[in-house]
């Protein structure tokens, strides 16, 4: 880690009060209809930034909202936010793909300041942004800094399925996904992200797959400012599968290995049954035949899934893939400035 710059002045909480080399920040947030929460979030960001001598521009990616942005947005003019823009999409793409379009927009705009990626509903607390920035500066402004989730504000059922998803993800991908979108990334990283098709499916997983240096800060997830989440159970499942799809090659290889191990075990059981039947007077219990049959059935299913994966992977490698930097701009309807501070 680098030493703390002499221009930092710690406040009473121990966090840096100034980040002069990072300013102005760019805050990118997808939003779908949650304008009430987004308006309150702007007020919270403005308040936190005033306490830490920060400034920023905010860019909302309007993911095909059916409810229009309020005419007076924000409710009161912020003091530490220079500009608020909306990137309006032609249709609803979903959270991750709206984020992908937003990142491409930033790269094409030629920004040079760090980008804060966060949700617009309040579950990513503005008060935690200085903690991410502190780690970002400690890592020489070169790593992506993610908020690693400790406690979550959701109910028992959500926590149960989230734990199940993490277990499955660890088994088929190889690591525990403890972080999501809430992060700070160097502007230079955008050049690498926007040329990979994986960004279209999942931002955080793409950072990991591309071996972009990253670090984490343990942060609790907050509660929504207003309303209920628009993402139901099906949406959450799709979100999890999207993250795993980025590592499709790894998942396929692990399936092939599982098939191989199961095939060896099945072959051993079958050979043992034949030997016992032909070379001894011992009877073969009925459960042994039953278990062998089940293993053969499971093995055949895994083989079929693995073959499907192999052929799909080989076919996709010969096809033209989605290129965010080329294809994302067609989803942008217009870019609108809703607030600008003129000093």
The residues spanned by each domain of the chain are: 20-247+327-340, 248-317
Backbone region of residue 174 per phi and psi (left: phi > 0; alpha: psi in -120 to 50; beta: other values): left
The reported pLDDT for the residue numbered 1 is: 38
CATH topology of domain 20-247+327-340: Spore Coat Polysaccharide Biosynthesis Protein SpsA; Chain A (3.90.550)
Segment 112-124, tens digit of pLDDT: 999 999 999 888 9
Strand 332-340: give its sheet, edge to edge: 214-219, 144-149, 179-185, 115-117, 25-31, 56-62, 81-89, 332-340
Q: Is the pLDDT of residue 159 over 70?
A: no
Q: What is the pLDDT of residues 77-111, one digit of tens each?
A: 999 999 999 999 999 999 999 999 999 999 999 99
How far apart are alpha carbons 46 and 311 in whole angstroms? 52
Residue 11: per-residue pLDDT: 44
Q: For residue 12, what pLDDT is reported?
A: 41
Percent of the chain with pLDDT over 90: 45
* Peptide bond connecting 292 to the previous residue in cis, omega within 30 degrees of 0: no
How many Å apart are CA 32 and CA 89, to the nearest integer? 10
Averaged over 305-326, what is the pLDDT? Answer: 73
Q: What is the pLDDT of residue 206?
A: 92
């Amino acid at each position: 880690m680098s030493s703390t710059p002499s221009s930092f002045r710690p406040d009473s909480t121990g966090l840096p009060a100034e980040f002069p080399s990072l300013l102005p920040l760019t805050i990118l947030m997808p939003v779908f209809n949650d304008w009430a929460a987004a308006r309150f979030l702007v007020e919270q960001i403005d308040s936190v930034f005033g306490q830490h001598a920060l400034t920023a521009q905010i860019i909302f990616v309007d993911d095909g909202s059916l409810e229009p942005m309020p005419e007076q947005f924000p409710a009161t003019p912020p003091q530490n936010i220079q500009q608020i823009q909306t990137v309006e999409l032609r249709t609803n793409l979903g959270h991750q793909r709206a984020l992908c379009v937003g990142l491409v927009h930033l790269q094409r705009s030629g920004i040079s300041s760090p980008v804060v990626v966060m949700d617009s509903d309040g579950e990513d607390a503005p008060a935690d942004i200085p903690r991410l920035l502190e780690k970002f500066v400690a890592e020489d402004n070169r790593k992506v800094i993610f908020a690693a989730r400790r406690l979550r504000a959701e109910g028992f059922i959500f926590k149960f399925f989230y734990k199940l998803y993490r277990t499955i993800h660890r088994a088929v991908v190889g690591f525990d996904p403890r972080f999501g979108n809430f992060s700070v990334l160097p502007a230079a990283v955008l050049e690498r992200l926007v040329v990979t098709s994986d960004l279209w499916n999942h931002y955080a997983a793409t950072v990991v797959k591309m071996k972009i240096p990253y670090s984490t800060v343990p942060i609790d997830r907050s509660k929504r400012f207003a309303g209920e989440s628009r993402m139901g159970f099906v949406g959450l499942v799709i979100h999890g599968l999207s993250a795993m799809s980025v590592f499709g090659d790894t998942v396929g290889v692990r399936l092939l290995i599982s098939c191989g191990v199961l095939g060896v075990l099945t072959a051993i059981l079958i050979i043992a049954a034949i030997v016992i039947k032909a070379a001894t007077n011992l009877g073969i219990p009925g459960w042994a035949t039953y278990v062998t049959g089940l293993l053969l059935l499971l093995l055949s299913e895994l083989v079929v899934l693995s073959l499907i994966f192999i052929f799909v992977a080989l076919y996709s490698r010969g096809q033209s893939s989605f290129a965010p930097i080329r294809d994302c701009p067609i989803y942008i309807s217009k870019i609108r400035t809703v607030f600008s501070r003129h000093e």
